[in-house]
Amino acid sequence: MLTPKQRLRPNPPNWRAWVRARVSWGRLFRFGVVGLSGIVVNLVFVRLFFGHLHWSPSLAAALASELAVVNNFLWNNWWTFGQQRVSVRRFVRFNVASLGGLAITTGVFTVLIQLFGLYYVIANLIAIGAATTWNFAASVFWTWAS
């Protein structure tokens, strides 16, 4: 028999089951492969913008990151999450969620170069790594949640 207090309190959600229903090793692998392709896109454009055109580290990282976001959205939409059509709503969500990753990438990249004098390619790889967990969680639990 339930006490009055127990009746008022709902059963706690089974968070593990909820997470497992959305995250699989295959999805994580595909997301990682897509992320690697995004790193290549990012590195190519950072090299162009910062290494050759000598733009500021913040501007170079921000623009290179957005180009990688577009690449990653298209591949994740089709391959990682199995969508056959491009949804403007998902694209907007992915970009909004990626702003967190962009802020992390840009901030870490800039700090590593300006405060620690790290070589820009290494700084960029570390910055991208710092944003990966955020991007995966936002993609699984918000952008493609429905």
Tell me the two tokens of residue 116.
């620690």
Residue 62: CB atoms within 10 A of its CB come to: 18
Q: Cα-Cα-Cα-Cα dihedral of 130, 133, 137, 140, to 10°?
A: 110
Per-residue pLDDT of the chain (146 residues; tens, 9 = 90+): 545 554 445 555 676 776 777 778 899 899 999 999 998 999 999 999 999 999 999 999 889 988 998 999 999 999 999 999 999 999 999 999 989 988 988 999 999 999 999 999 999 989 988 888 888 989 999 999 87
Question: Quick check: 49 and 4 in contact, CB under 8 A?
Answer: no
Tell me the two tokens of residue 62.
């921000």
pTM above 0.75, yes or no: no
